[in-house]
Structure formats: structure tokens, C-alpha cells
Amino acid sequence: MNSNYLNKSTVEDIRQKFNMLVESYSDLESGQKTAVDSVLIASIIAGVVSNLHPHAKDLLDIGCGAGNYSIRIATAMNSLNITLVDLSEKMLERAEERLHKVITGKIIAIREDIRNLRFNEGSFDMVVAGTSLHHLRTDEEWHAVFSNIYRSLKPGGSFWVSDLITHDNSRVHEVLWKKYGNYLGQNLGKEIENWVYEQMEVEDTPKSVGFQLDLMKTVGFSNTEILHKNMIFAAFGGIK
């Protein structure tokens, strides 16, 4: 995957793309079809956070899309206040619309790049980021975002990521990259396979699970966990 950040999609490019994809992100049962095990991972994360934080009141959903993660978490717990962050105003509108049907708590929707936001210390019981952080570019950006998330959590709070990943060993990555292509071709067709790879080349700059878990520990998380991994997608997190 091309790591030349100057050749990657801009924030505005990404916003416009996801404004056109709202319908494909709005099915709770099918999830994100181009992401491996997306429904399973969302269910796992919802189960983990509800068990870790049974009395939680405040959730931050980064790159919320149409709200699938927030909906699953909210239906597994008591009333929550949910802060939604996304680049796409269309995604935010759909997420709000869907969440109003399942929660009585407050919903705050913020159309902004997570790199530009600074939350008050101890604002949230839990933070989730579903297939969104791979749009970060430099190591400095990754560090700043993870530091901000850590600071925004209450003591004992947790941060969970589900995302596209790379692998530190290039030969391992090559095998799993090809397997993902086969998965796309067999389940969604060759045309979709080609489109997904083209989009990842121009848009995404993912990092390995190892890089992100190490970064969590660096910014202060006391405990990290891997919840699931399949090919080039994984779910993992840290507890403050």
C-alpha cells in the first residue's frame, strides 16, 4: 500500500465519498460488507463494553458512520449519552435518526476530523472507533489522536478499535492481503474487489495491531486486549 501521504485523498475527498455511501452503512444485520466480520466484531465490542462498564453513561463514537456500533452498544446497556463524530454530515444525520429510536439519552453530533477535536479530560466512559482511524497519516497524528482519546476517558474507561490493519512482517502481510482479495472476489465480485483495492490505495494509511497496541501503552493505557483478527481486519483496545 502506498504510504506517500501527499498522494492520498484529502479530508474533503473522504467526506464526499462517505456522503454517497450512507445506505450501504445503514444495515445492522449486514454491517460493512467490505470489512471482514464487521457484524461479529461490532457484537463483540458491544458485549465487552457493556460487561466492563455496566453503569456507563457517556460514549464517544469516532467515525460513527450510520451508527451501527453505537446502536449495538446502546441496546446492550442502559440509557447512554452518545457523542458522534464523523466527517460526513449525511452519515451523522442517519446515525442520529436511528439512535433516537433506541436511546433516551442525549445525542451530540459533531462533523469534524478527529485530529481537530480536543475533549475535556474524563469526558467518556468508553470510546469506540470503527473502521475510521486508518485515515490518519503520520505517526505524529496517530500519537496525538491516541493521547487525546486517553485523556478524554474517565479513570477505568476503555478505548476499542475495529479497523483495517497492516502487518509488521511484509511476507505475512502479502499472504493475508491476497486472501482478503479472494474473499472480496468470492463474496462481492471481481468488480467490487478491484474498487476496494483502488480506494485503499488512494485513501488509506493503516497501521499494524502491534503499532497501535504499543502506542496505547505509550500514551498511558494500563491494559490492552486483542478481541478478534481475520486477514487484514482486527478489533482490539485498551483500558485506562
pLDDT digits (tens, 9 = 90+) for 69-106: 999 999 998 789 999 999 999 999 999 999 999 988 99
pLDDT band, residue 25 (cuts 50/70/90): confident
CATH number of 5-239, picked from 3.40.50.150, 3.90.330.10, 2.60.40.1890, 3.30.499.10: 3.40.50.150
C-alpha cell at 232: 487484514
86 DSSP β-pair partners: 111
Longest Cα pair distance anywhere in the chain, in angstroms? 49
| Rounded Cα gap, residues 39 and 193, in angstroms | 20
Of the ranges 48-57, 65-74, 191-200, which one carries the lowest mean pLDDT score?
191-200
Q: Which residues have C-beta within 8 Å of that of residue 183, sequence separation ≥ 6?
A: 36, 231
pLDDT higher than 70, residue 4: no
Report the pLDDT value the prediction gives residue 3, as an integer from 0 to 100. 56
pTM of the prediction? 0.94
Domain residue ranges of the chain, discontinuous segments joined by +: 5-239
Angle at the Cα of 107 from the Cα atoms of 28 and 56, rounded to 5 degrees: 80
Of the ranges 11-15, 84-88, 212-216, which one carries the lowest mean pLDDT score?
11-15
Range 129-138 average pLDDT: 96
Q: Could you count the other beta carbons within 10 Å of the beta carbon of residue 56? A: 20
